[in-house]
Amino acid sequence: MSNVAKAQPSVSWGRPDTGALLLEWWDRERRDLPWRTPAGCAPDAYRVWLSEIMLQQTTVKAVIPYYERFLARWPTVAALAAAPLDEVLAAWAGLGYYTRARNLHKCAKLIADAHGGRFPSASSELVKLPGIGPYTAAAIAAIAFGEAATPVDGNIERVVARLFAVTAPLPASKPTLRHLAASLTPSARAGDFAQALMDLGASLCTPKRPSCLVCPLQMSCAAHAEGLATELPRKPAKADRPLRVGLAFVALREDGTVLLRRRPEAGLLGGMLEVPSTEWRDALPPLDQALRAAPVHGQWWAVPGTVTHTFTHFRLELMIYRAVVPTETALTFWADPQRCRWVPRRALDSAALPSVMRKVVAHGLREQ
Ligand code: SF4
């Protein structure tokens, strides 16, 4: 039997008052988040958009300080559009998935230049903007503009899979889950309903230990009735992330500056700053060959220990080499001098360095 076919009779579990029950719960229990407006106040599309972009792939806890700093510095989409990209990337440093920051800036400029500083209100228009996919478009349209759109991310997929006891595994069940989520969405208060689903997934219908006993939807939940809550949604087993390795070169000039290089615009950590390194491969080349990739000639020595970092698709282990060089040292061909700059140590904190490179700098500069 297809999953949709199995799910349809369960709509009777989603009793007609599922939406009302959820909203009633949310009116009492909603999370107080800095991007949310008090009940009865109209949300600001800029704040909704900014928070939704930051929340992609990131936790609420990690996002809050970034959101507050961004909003204090760039209180409107016009202010963000007018900011240099470098400053936006530097303010984003540490939040990860840096393409989001580049698209954030591109989108702000487009809104300011081509849309008169106002976000389009329809999800079908929002989804055409840089960095806005179907989930984010639906979230902005529902929350900021009241469109009866249903944003469906991993959290909402989990809640819906349980409410309707969808046993087909992800990702094949995604269309079914989107369809079922849409079937629950009320035409009034669609934005509140979306946020209520988000909050239910974050606070009660959690991945490992759902709190069914205090859940407002318990009576409507097929997975709870069938004792399947902790098993759903089903997912294929995760493949192990492969390991890549490399050598990173922390070059410290006698004037107290450190050599950083801008990464290419496209690809991983695009446009962010880095400590120059060898390519990240499955295995290290012989040491004399790896050291030829150093960005300056000098006495390179290995800093004990390694720096490790986990990206979405691989784990990285870097050995760190360090050298102190005279101020007038020339860069080698391998450094790609056009992309390099010497940055004072005191300015490293505010540089657009992603987390992995912050670890490399800290490891490379620590006192031995
Ligand atoms: Fe999730 Fe349990 Fe509530 Fe069902 S009853 S929605 S499984 S918390």
Q: Which atom of ligand 1 is nearest to the CA of 218?
A: 5
Q: Does residue 220 carry a pLDDT above 80?
A: yes
pLDDT of residue 238: 77
Task: State whether the beta carbon of 221 lies less than 6 angstroms from ligand 1.
Answer: yes
Residue nearest atom 7 in ligand 1 by C-alpha distance? 229
- Measured in Å, residue 25 CA sits from the centre of ligand 1 at 13
Q: Which pLDDT band holds residue 11 (cuts at 50, 70, 90)?
A: very low
pLDDT of residue 5: 36
Q: Which pLDDT band holds residue 368 (cuts at 50, 70, 90)?
A: low
Q: Does residue 106 carry a pLDDT above 60?
A: yes
**92 within 8 A of 66, measured Cβ to Cβ:** yes
Task: State whether the beta carbon of 322 lies less than 6 angstroms from ligand 1.
Answer: no
Task: State whether the beta carbon of 215 lies less than 6 angstroms from ligand 1.
Answer: yes
Residue 52 a catalytic site member: yes
- What is each CA distance from 327 to 220, 252, 253, 255, 330, in whole angstroms? 70, 9, 5, 6, 9
Closest CA to 259 of 229, 295, 211, 289: 295
Q: How many whole angstroms separate alpha carbon 80 and alpha carbon 215?
A: 40
What is the tens place of the pLDDT at every residue in 221-256?
Answer: 999 999 999 999 999 877 789 999 999 999 999 999
pLDDT of residue 44: 94
pLDDT of residue 267: 86
pLDDT of residue 96: 87
Q: Does residue 6 carry a pLDDT above 80?
A: no
Q: Across residues 76-103, what is the average pLDDT?
A: 94
| 186's tokens | 């009320």
What is the tens place of the pLDDT at every residue in 154-182?
Answer: 999 999 999 999 999 999 999 999 999 99
- Measured in Å, residue 165 CA sits from the centre of ligand 1 at 10
